[in-house]
Amino acid sequence: MFTGIIQSVGEITQATPVGKDIQLAINTGHLDMTDVQLGDSIAVNGVCLTVIKLGTERFEAHVSHETLSVTVGLDRPHPVNLEKALRLSDRLGGHLVSGHVDGVGQVVSFEELGDCWRLNILAPHAISKYISVKGSICINGVSLTVNSIANDIFSINLIPHTLENTTLKSLASGHLVNLEVDQIARYVERMTLWERENQGQSEKSGELEIKGQNNND
């Protein structure tokens, strides 16, 4: 698990094909790696990856073809947002993030508004139902608050601190981004569906019970 609070901007320095997969070499910037071990998880642009090789200021990770097919930004050298996995004793400054990307969005516009910037993103229709005003969403690993949503386009306001400490400052119209919706929304949907399914089963069970009683009569 992660929080969506970026700890360092690193850089993918090598993306080596391994069959249909890719092995990445990543420089970690100022990320403290003293407590990281082989097998630990690090979020790279919002994607949870496992450390398979480790150095003082770098690590390597294997990215499967399946992961590559549902994410962006893991197939070439470029700057990336990094966050180590959450410890139970850590503060939850953003929101609970799994590192499992739900879909790839597209930047519609990125415009300056005084000291802040407004980022408008077109989300895949299948996940836009999970995006709500004042709700949380993860964009390239960054925990952000939704300001508005109309159809499949949602809006985010970015403060200077976020721009200075993440790769979001490099976004432009047409760029693709990794999106992970708030987990609470998915659980609410599942509970609602379960309740409907269970209600139907309960009604069927009730009908069978009544029939059984009639037969006994």
Is the entire prediction scored with pTM above 0.85?
Answer: yes
Would you place residue 101 in the very low, low, confident or very high pLDDT band (cuts 50, 70, 90)?
very high
Please answer whether residues 6 and 165 qualify as being in contact, where contact means their C-beta atoms are separated by less than 8 angstroms. Answer: yes
b/e map of 178-217 (b: 16 or more CB within 10 Å)? bbbbbbebeeeeeeeeeeeeeeeeeeeeeeeeeeeeeeee
Would you place residue 203 in the very low, low, confident or very high pLDDT band (cuts 50, 70, 90)?
low
Of 55, 71, 41, residue with least CA distance to 13: 55
Note the pLDDT of residue 62. 98
Note the pLDDT of residue 185. 80
Residue 116, strand partner residues:
113
Q: How far is CA 190 from CA 68, 183, 184, 195, 200, in A?
A: 27, 11, 10, 9, 15
Enumerate the H helices of the chain as residue ranges. 65-69, 125-128, 160-165, 183-216
Of 171, 95, 99, 170, residue with least CA distance to 132: 95
Would you place residue 89 in the very low, low, confident or very high pLDDT band (cuts 50, 70, 90)?
confident
Note the pLDDT of residue 103. 96
Our measurement of the distance from residue 7's CA atom to the centroid of its chain's CA atoms, rounded to an integer in Å, reads 16
All domains of the chain in start order, with CATH: 8-84 (2.40.30.20), 103-185 (2.40.30.20)
